[in-house]
């Protein structure tokens, strides 16, 4: 009841001042529009968006970090008049600081103000405060838990502001790096900071200025003209509103970049649906003639001539030659013919091995693949493809294109994770490797090509690969790829761990976090009782955190850590080593989690006490899960489906599948009858 009343209190904050509507600042929408950057402490439950949804039942929890900090950095000043904060799990305090820049906030100088300091709140108490009108660009909340552990529980943080605040934005894609002479006209939109719908903009009232006209000049007030190497800021001006972007100009000689994009195997062979022998069907026949075709790209505006190349076989020179010419901005194929073997070889293609041409990057002049690797097809919409070439170099890790991001930062990383998945049962790690066999650049909005979802199923008719994924414009029009300078795993423009996770599903892996066991609210998931008391939260089944009573042992790629392949998933992948796709090469195929039902015909349970002694004559009650409306939902009533008694050895036989009356494990939306001890 308390949370319901608090939600109503939050709703009552919508009111009118001076004939202008005051509403909660829509931080999420402002972020999606590019008007706000959110920086926050790491979260382990919920997401940062849950903090701003005005919903007192959605939790955002810090990952054992106390205090929790969240900083909002707006591109234009936001005027707000009041604030509310809802914290839980005991006594807490919160502090609110503001400034017009991050530097002033951090250094506590200039425009810096501390509006509220260490306000103490009780558990689940909505703390609402009014204040004089404040107009700032940077707002920071610090929340500290004063009792219990260091997991800070936050349900909401709302700022209340006028809904009519407008701003302009220099839209993506806008190059952070460009060449001398590469003129362009930036795209600018006008909208409310808190709305996704832009307003009409009178282009005659729009103009641009440069912070340094020796580096970037402005032609006719609207054309950006890079004239010399260096960095300058471009400012858009529209009826008193401004927006600014930084632009780095580099010299002409760095226009050149040769890029080995992918290596394709020919002939292409479709996987055989429901094959009885996927380790051989769908592969070339032993000794069959095949062709490896390397696709390289010339990113230069000039034709490059007599470009040398090499093929390497396990690091040894196999063949060398010259490409007579490569047209500007064009792919060029180079073939190598051989015969098929299932033995793994490392095949490498190198372009311009002597570094004859001055280039932006040398790292992308070489690409190595494993000949027996599973094949991947990526489909990418044109705006995203172009954005990556405009921005990848800013990471300064030797990547300069969408192909480089896919090959160097994703596929190579995944193969390293496979090799490093060393466990007692898998001394050689994951046995399979993957390779990017084809990249298809399609028009904006074209995905999916044949039904399904644009990401999961870019082309449902594509049976020539083992895994596929689609990349729409959403990543570049939204915030996913906006950070083009930070080379860390938290930045999807550097490493998109969630992509590798989803491709794990396409290879039939399940979400191992779905093997957790949660009690739910008011024991609505575990209704089992002992002496009239629900067992959830007792010594028999204590809470770990929130309503969780048991975590899966697996915390890797298919759970919460996208940088390693967990032990369970590694064993599952090795179960289908060198198998082509079987009944779908997308997320999710019909055989997802099929290994869950590789269960012995008979299972034996041995009961021992806390001293390690067997317990004969013990009653063993088996409670089978029932459906619950959520992902991997499960609920248990108070009536056991099976009851056994241990024998003189403290043992009892449970049969083939004691988890289900149907004899099979289910793991999906609305029902999972499995959890992992």
Peptide bond into 13 cis (omega under 30): no
CA-wise closest residue to 300 among 142, 179, 123: 179
User: In whole angstroms, what is the distance from residue 417 CA to residue 429 CA?
Assistant: 8
The per-residue DSSP string of 581-647 comes to PSS-SSSS-TTTTGGGG---S-EEEE-B-TTS-B-TT-EEEE---B--SSBT--BB-SS-SEEEE--
Radius of gyration for the chain, computed over Cα atoms and rounded to the nearest angstrom: 29
Residues 186-226 pLDDT 10s:
888 777 666 656 667 788 888 999 999 999 999 888 888 88
Per-residue pLDDT, averaged over 40-65, amounts to 91
Residue 17: pLDDT band with limits 50, 70, 90: very low
Residue 18 reports pLDDT greater than 80 = no
Q: What is the pLDDT of residue 193?
A: 64
User: In whole angstroms, what is the distance from residue 212 CA to residue 282 CA?
Assistant: 60
| Cβ proximity of 370 and 266 under 8 Å | no
User: In whole angstroms, what is the distance from residue 183 CA to residue 259 CA?
Assistant: 24
Residues 637-660 pLDDT 10s:
999 999 999 999 999 999 998 888
pTM of the predicted protein model: 0.65
Hey, what CATH topology would domain 168-250 get?
A: Immunoglobulin-like (2.60.40)
Residues 122-154 pLDDT 10s:
988 899 998 888 889 999 999 999 998 999 999
DSSP 409: I
Instruction: Say which CATH class 2-163 falls into.
Output: mainly beta
User: In whole angstroms, what is the distance from residue 561 CA to residue 521 CA?
Assistant: 27
Residues 6+ apart with CB under 8 A from 240: none
CA-wise closest residue to 150 among 78, 96, 92: 92
Do the domains 168-250 and 258-372 sit in the same CATH topology, yes or no?
yes
Q: What is the pLDDT of residue 647?
A: 96
Per-residue pLDDT, averaged over 270-295, amounts to 97
- Report domain extents, the chain: 2-163, 168-250, 258-372, 373-509+551-576
Instruction: Say which CATH class 258-372 falls into.
Output: mainly beta
Q: Which of 2-11, 64-73, 476-485 has the lowest mean pLDDT?
A: 2-11
Q: Please give the C-alpha separations between residue 423 and each of 516, 568, 569, 570, in angstroms, as whole numbers.
A: 22, 10, 11, 9
Residue 443: pLDDT band with limits 50, 70, 90: very high
Q: Which of 28-37, 291-300, 556-565 has the lowest mean pLDDT?
A: 28-37
Q: What is the pLDDT of residue 174?
A: 67
């Amino acid at each position: 009841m308390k949370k319901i009343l608090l939600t109503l209190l939050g709703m009552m904050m919508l009111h009118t001042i001076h004939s202008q509507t005051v509403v909660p600042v829509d931080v999420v929408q402002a972020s999606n529009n590019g008007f706000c950057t959110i920086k926050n402490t790491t979260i382990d439950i919920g997401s940062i968006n849950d903090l701003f949804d005005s919903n007192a039942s959605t939790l955002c929890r810090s990952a054992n970090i106390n205090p929790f900090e969240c900083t909002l950095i707006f591109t234009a000043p936001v005027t707000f008049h009041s604030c509310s904060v809802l914290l839980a799990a005991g006594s807490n305090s919160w502090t609110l600081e503001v400034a017009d820049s991050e530097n002033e906030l951090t250094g506590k100088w200039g425009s810096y103000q501390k509006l509220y300091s260490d306000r103490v709140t009780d558990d689940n108490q909505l703390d609402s405060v009014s204040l004089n009108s404040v107009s700032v660009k940077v707002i920071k909340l610090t929340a500290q838990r004063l009792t219990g552990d260091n997991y800070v529980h936050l349900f909401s943080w709302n700022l209340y502001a006028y809904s009519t605040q407008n701003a302009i934005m220099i839209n993506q894609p806008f190059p952070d790096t460009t060449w001398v002479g590469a003129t362009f006209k930036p795209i600018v939109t006008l909208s409310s900071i808190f709305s996704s719908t832009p307003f009409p903009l009178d282009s005659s009232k729009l103009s641009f200025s440069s912070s340094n006209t020796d580096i970037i000049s402005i032609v006719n007030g609207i054309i950006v003209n890079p004239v010399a190497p260096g960095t300058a800021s471009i400012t858009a001006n529209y009826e008193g509103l401004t927006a600014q972007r930084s632009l780095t100009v580099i010299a002409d000689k760095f226009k050149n970049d040769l890029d080995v994009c992918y290596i394709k195997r020919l002939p292409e062979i479709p996987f055989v649906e429901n094959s009885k022998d996927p380790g051989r069907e769908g592969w070339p026949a032993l000794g069959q003639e095949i062709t490896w075709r390397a696709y390289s790209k010339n990113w230069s505006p000039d034709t490059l001539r007599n470009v040398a190349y090499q093929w390497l076989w396990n690091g040894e020179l196999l063949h060398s030659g010259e490409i007579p010419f490569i047209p500007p901005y064009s792919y060029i194929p180079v073939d190598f013919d051989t015969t098929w073997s299932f033995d793994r070889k490392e095949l490498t293609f190198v372009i311009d091995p002597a570094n004859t041409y001055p280039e932006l990057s040398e790292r992308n002049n070489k690409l190595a693949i494993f000949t027996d690797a599973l094949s991947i097809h990526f489909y990418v919409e044109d705006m995203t493809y172009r954005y990556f070439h405009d921005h990848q170099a800013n990471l300064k890790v030797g990547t300069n294109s969408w192909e480089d991001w896919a090959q160097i930062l994703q596929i190579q990383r995944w193969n390293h994770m496979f090799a490093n998945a060393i466990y007692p049962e898998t001394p050689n790690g994951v046995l399979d490797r993957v390779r990017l066999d084809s990249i298809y650049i399609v028009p904006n909005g074209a995905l999916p090509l044949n039904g399904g979802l644009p990401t999961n199923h870019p082309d449902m008719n594509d049976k020539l690969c083992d895994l596929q994924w689609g990349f729409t414009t959403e990543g570049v029009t939204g915030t996913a790829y906006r950070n083009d300078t930070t080379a860390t795993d938290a930045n999807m423009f550097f490493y998109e761990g969630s992509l590798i996770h989803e491709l794990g599903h396409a290879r039939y892996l399940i979400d191992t976090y779905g093997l957790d066991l949660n009690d739910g609210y008011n024991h609505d998931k575990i209704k089992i009782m002992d002496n009239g008391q629900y067992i959830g939260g007792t010594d028999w089944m204590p809470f770990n955190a929130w309503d969780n009573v048991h975590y899966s042992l697996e915390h890797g790629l298919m759970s919460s850590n996208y940088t390693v392949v967990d032990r369970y998933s590694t064993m599952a992948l090795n179960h289908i080593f060198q198998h082509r796709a079987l009944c779908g090469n997308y997320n999710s195929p019909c055989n997802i989690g099929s290994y869950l039902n590789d269960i012995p015909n008979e299972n034996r349970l041995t009961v021992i006490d806390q001293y390690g002694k067997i317990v004969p004559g013990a009653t063993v009650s088996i409670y089978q899960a029932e459906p619950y409306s959520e992902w991997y939902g499960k609920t248990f009533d108070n009536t056991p489906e099976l009851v056994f008694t241990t024998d003189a050895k403290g043992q009892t036989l449970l049969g083939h599948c004691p988890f289900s009356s149907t004899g099979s494990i289910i793991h999906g939306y609305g029902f999972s009858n499995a959890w992992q001890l």
